[in-house]
């Protein structure tokens, strides 16, 4: 189909429709192979892996009402989808970053929450589509699933877009791991995400805590997962007074350790600078508490989504029992998408908190006292030792008093003739 002539200003409806389509446009690009799907989920992967006419961009731009402004809205939607789903980062991170592995695990988890269709749901929907003499392509299955679950798909049916629903939990899990791991401080935008106690990746000439470019600093942290090096101890302890000198020195040595393969790519320690076990991959630290929080959030989302689904089904059954007929087999849940997502999000937050707190208790009560008793004692006495270090030195003793007047003559030398002067 030829492109329609462009008009200068699209309507708000056109703009919103194309924005929504952009946020969900990669759904039909997905493949049974998760690696291919991950590549095509990125903004550039769609362009690099297929001819232009087969890309989602071309499909969207061939729409009858595709104005210049609405095409820009579609691209903005693709960018938002890319950010939420880690589209660009995922192919790069699959082999060299913990968040890449977490993204694959998150994708599997979404099928167990029901937000994304699992194998059983796909089979049911395929039979329904075949019974209705409708196509059973991947996008048709997603569209029917979205309608059943109360989400929109490609701007249809209204409500929360399916891609936003399925991308929110993985984004929360990766955000928890990133923030709690200490690699980046997602709230410190003024210094490009620098964590307390660490240098900027692009430090200025006069201050290694300030960055030369906030946007570039954020981009480096987002794309590569890099973080800065530890500050010198006197600067570090101002921001992190809770960390003992012993733990700081050990972390400094671990930072320069070459790791398991002698390349510095994969490293592990039983006690990091926060006093807990840690695995490091390509410079990205994953402490026990951060990993437990991320996994707990994924597990909690499955439980929360299940509780929300049971609540919704009970409501539907009560409506049916009260004589409120449902219009069509899939209309019962059309308005229930926000509740499903809220249940999964609440479960993810509770599960993430439980994983984080539970792992810290196990670490503080069992792991560290058993394997690092000396370091634990040093940490306990550190505040007192630091206060002694920072205390001003004792004042110098006062000078001796001047000699008394009676002793002045005794101290004077005798004259040459030996006679005393009076």
Cα separation of the two ends of the chain:
130
Give the pair of three-digit tokens for residue 126. Answer: 């395929």
**Domain spans, the chain:** 1-95, 98-116+154-183+232-390, 184-224
C-alpha to C-alpha distances, 383 to 133, 245, 246, 377, 390, nearest whole angstrom: 74, 10, 13, 11, 11
DSSP 8-state symbol, 156:
B
pTM over 0.85: no
Q: Is the pLDDT of residue 373 over 70?
A: yes
Q: For 104-122, what is each residue's pLDDT tens digit?
A: 788 889 989 988 888 888 8
**Comparing 94-98, 284-288, 365-369, which segment has the lowest mean pLDDT?**
94-98
User: 157: pLDDT confidence band, cut at 50, 70 and 90?
Assistant: low
Phi, psi of 7, deg, nearest 5: -110, 150
Whether residue 225 contacts residue 93, with contact meaning beta carbons closer than 8 Å, is answered with yes
User: Which positions ≥6 away from 107 have C-beta within 8 Å?
Assistant: 34, 116, 170
The DSSP 8-state label assigned to residue 203 in this structure reads B
3-class state of residue 129 by DSSP: helix
Q: How do residues 208-261 score in pLDDT, each as one tens digit?
A: 999 999 999 988 887 777 788 899 999 999 999 999 999 999 999 988 877 666
Mean predicted confidence (pLDDT) in 8-34: 65
Query: In terms of pLDDT, which residue wins out, 9 or 172?
Result: 172
Predicted pLDDT of residue 4: 42
User: What is the pLDDT at residue 329?
Assistant: 42
Rounded distance between C-alpha atoms, residue 7 and residue 28, angstroms: 28
């Amino acid at each position: 189909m030829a492109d329609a002539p462009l008009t200068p200003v699209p309507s708000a409806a056109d703009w919103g429709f194309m924005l929504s389509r952009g946020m969900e446009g990669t759904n039909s690009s997905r493949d049974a192979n998760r690696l291919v799907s991950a590549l095509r989920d990125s903004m550039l992967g769609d362009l690099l892996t297929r001819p232009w006419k087969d890309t989602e961009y071309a499909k969207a731009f061939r729409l009858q009402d595709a104005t210049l402004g609405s095409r820009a809205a579609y691209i903005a939607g693709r960018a938002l989808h890319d950010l939420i789903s880690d589209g660009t980062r995922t192919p790069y991170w699959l082999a060299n970053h913990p968040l890449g592995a977490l993204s694959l695990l998150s994708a599997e988890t979404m099928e167990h929450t029901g937000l994304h269709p699992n194998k059983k749901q796909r089979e049911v929907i395929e039979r329904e589509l075949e019974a209705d003499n409708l196509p059973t392509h991947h996008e048709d299955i997603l569209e029917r699933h979205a309608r059943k679950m109360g989400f929109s798909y490609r701007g249809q049916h209204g409500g929360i877009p399916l891609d936003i629903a399925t991308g929110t939990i993985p984004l929360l899990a990766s955000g928890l791991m990133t923030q709690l791991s200490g690699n980046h401080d997602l709230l410190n935008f003024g210094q490009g995400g620098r964590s307390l106690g660490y240098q900027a990746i692009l430090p200025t000439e006069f201050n290694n805590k300030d960055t030369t470019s906030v946007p570039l600093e954020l981009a480096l942290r987002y794309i590569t997962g890099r973080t800065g090096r530890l500050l010198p101890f006197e600067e570090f302890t101002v921001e992190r007074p809770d960390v003992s000198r012993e733990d700081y020195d050990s972390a400094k040595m671990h930072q320069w350790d070459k790791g398991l393969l002698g390349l510095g790519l994969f490293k592990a320690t039983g006690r990091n600078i926060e006093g807990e076990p840690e695995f490091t991959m390509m410079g990205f630290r994953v402490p026990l508490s951060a990993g437990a929080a991320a996994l707990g959030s994924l597990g909690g989302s499955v439980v929360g989504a299940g509780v929300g689904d049971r609540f919704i089904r009970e409501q539907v059954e009560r409506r049916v029992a009260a004589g409120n007929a449902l219009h069509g087999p899939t209309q019962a849940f059309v308005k229930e998408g926000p509740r499903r997502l809220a249940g999964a999000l609440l479960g993810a937050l509770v599960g993430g908190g439980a994983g984080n707190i539970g792992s810290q208790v196990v670490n503080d009560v069992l792991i560290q006292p058993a394997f690092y008793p000396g370091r634990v004692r040093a940490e306990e006495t550190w505040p007192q030792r630091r206060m002694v270090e920072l205390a001003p030195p004792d004042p110098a003793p006062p000078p001796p008093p001047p000699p008394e007047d009676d002793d002045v003559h005794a101290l004077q030398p005798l004259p040459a003739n030996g006679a005393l002067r009076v």
